[in-house]
Structure 1
Amino acid sequence: MATINVRRDVKDSFYRYKMPRLLSKIEGKGNGIKTVVPNMAEIARALSRPPSYPTKYFGCELGAQVKCDDKNERYIVNGEHDAERLQTILDGFISKFVLCASCRNPETDLIIKNDDIMMDCKACGAQNMADMRHKLSTYIVKNPPAQASKNQRKQRKAATAQTNDLGGGFDDNEGGSDDDIISQRINKEAAGLTMQSQLAQEDWSEDTSAAAVAQRLKELAVKGVGAFGDDNDDDDENKYDLFGAWLEEQVDNTNDSNAVTDVSIILKAQELGVYGKYKACQVLVQCIFDESIATQIPKRTKLLRKFVTGEKHQKAVLGGVERLVGLEYKDSLMKKVPAILMKLYDADVIDDEVFIKWGEKPTKKYVAKDVSKEVKKAAKPFLEWIATASEEESEEESD
């Protein structure tokens, strides 16, 4: 899908903030004619806004009724509207409800305070009030966005297709704010800022409210140590954090998990001394897969077989799936757990006995016990099928 700059007035091809070009599809005829925006969900992810916001904005600007079906990701505007016209209207939405009024960067989160909409910029730290005169503001106040999570920020980074390490491509006509940001980044680079500290800084740029910090600590505390580790391995936990950070950086920089080759992943694992370790399997699953894991597994079968060499490794893969589904993509992947496990089964990565043993009872080894219970409950259709298949195979062997 073709991408364009979030700010279309910026002509720099290296501008870091990208989004998919809006597509439109005309359906129906006569009084029932309507325009469907098939990629509204992808556009909304790039802008870090709920898809209903820009769709409702179209309705306000065009004086048309709209329909938002979040479950099926189907967004409709009544009437016939071409893609270029909708793209121009979307520019207005971005200017009013996405771009920071101070630095004109789209790294903002919406915060509702006393029925006012504040735009909290994670690039320059400014907080500005959105245009409360617009009709959409009333809808936003009544339907506030969910609090931005670490995973949502990762999606926004991936969707905007960062093109270089310094994050260049700022508009040269925008005054002193962007110059200050670039200078800060150059100074940090000159001081030898490591990849790990850069990632740490990105974490600190997130929501630091007491509730958000407590939630992140709760998620990390499930394992007892780092974001990728557990307390049953004697190896240096830092190796796995570095491995995970490297994988995430590669995926973010390419905006495509498949672009990170199997060979480069294996070489990095060997360099860090985690290749052949069962915990590396959990990190691998968390970092190279996303919402499309069911379609990604077949493409990574060879890589998984290289990493998975024993029962502990197989259990770690399932632990990675638990974390991916239960902590990162719960809404979109929970119902797809049986399909995900079937793909692992078809890839011949996990033994039948390991599947059955994993599904026997929830544990708190990789996620909170209630999350583990929910994932394994969702996996019940597959687990029942694999148990039946194993019993029939045993009977055939006995005969």
Structure 2
Amino acid sequence: MSNVLSQLVATPPQHLRPDAARIATVALWPIAVMVVLHSVLVLAFNGSVTDDFTTVYSAIRRMLGGVPVYNENYATVDPHYLYNPGATLLLAPMGLSGDRELSRAVFIVLNAAAIIAALAVLVRLVGHRLTSWLFPGAVTVAFLTESVRNTLIFSNINGILLLALSGFLWLLLRGHRWWAGLVLGLAIVVKPMFAPLLLLPLMKFDWRTILGGVAVPVLANVIAWPLVPGAGDYLTRVVPYLGETRDYANSSLAGFAVYFDMPGWLEAVLWLTLGVFVAVGLAALFFYRDSAPLFWATTTTGLLLTGVFVMSSLGQQYYSMMLFPMILTVATRLSVFHVWPAWLAAFLFLWPGDWHSVHAPDAGRWASYFTATAGWSMLVVVIAVTAVVYLRRDRNILTSATVAAQEPVAANGNGETHV
């Protein structure tokens, strides 16, 4: 079965006609450059009321100064420092300079560069060269999304994490198991939401990647615990706070339920329904792990992360950047983004526009908060349904090919054989 399915999905990506591809490349590069410059030099450097960088920078400076790191008032709605001691140690270089504005500018540029590098890795991963139209096209579209814009404007680390995720997929698909585990482990240290991705090497019985992905966060925290002042407060103050569901800047189902005071039974039904779709999608994708590893790895990653965004206690819209690997499979033969509902879902969680309306202020405000919730939920369903449809189609083709191959061969009167 594996060999037959491999032949079904091994066709090269579809490309534009040479002339059209050349024109698209020529047109897209200056647009990409200008969009990046505007996003970094204007939007990000201007900043906004939401400032993730200062929260992290201040915590790192406290660590370097020997002051307890987790000494904030977690009862307020201000941005809080939530990274574990291991991540705090990894982020320590951010606080080496006493000039906060300079450090912020450098951090923004590093994240922008990481996003571009991640897109380059993904373009190569889906079989295109960096000289093709897809690379500048991907950069242009990415830097117009809410995810990239707010990552840079709020000055958080998601760009670097996207590069880590892309690197993990590249290394995993090319058999560099120890390195894949190391990179995934570093991502898990900074944001534990990547921990479910350990399911990918588990599906392949790849214990080296699993060991690396688990050992890195454990060792990082063991090393950091005596070095980070007040590290114990992480367990007594931060972990309980993380267990709460906040009703602001939270696009998860739990955040939606708290915001609208949803009955507990209804939230449970919706959560279980999404969980069933995630499970069905994972089961269908499992059968592609050998025959279509790129489709399997990127789509399983996308399904797991989308499930985390919408089903955990906290989901923020700019997390959607981590779905870029799955979205870029549109340039391959097998992709859930070959159907229009997937693009409608992507629009809902990537669109940077404001939905506030003077004619319907309440509805506009709700839409601005929870379009990501709708988009993530829709995408979970689309992935599960599309994966099942693909699997049924390919199994039917496989069955037909097997039956044809097993038909008895009859001999005619001349001694010739025919089927």
Common fold by TM > 0.5: no
Normalized per residue, the structure richer in helix is: 2
Normalized per residue, the structure richer in strand is: 1
Q: TM-score, normalised by structure 2?
A: 0.26
Query: Which structure is richer in relative contact order (CA contacts within 8 A, separation 6 or more)?
Result: 2
Q: TM-score, normalised by structure 1?
A: 0.27
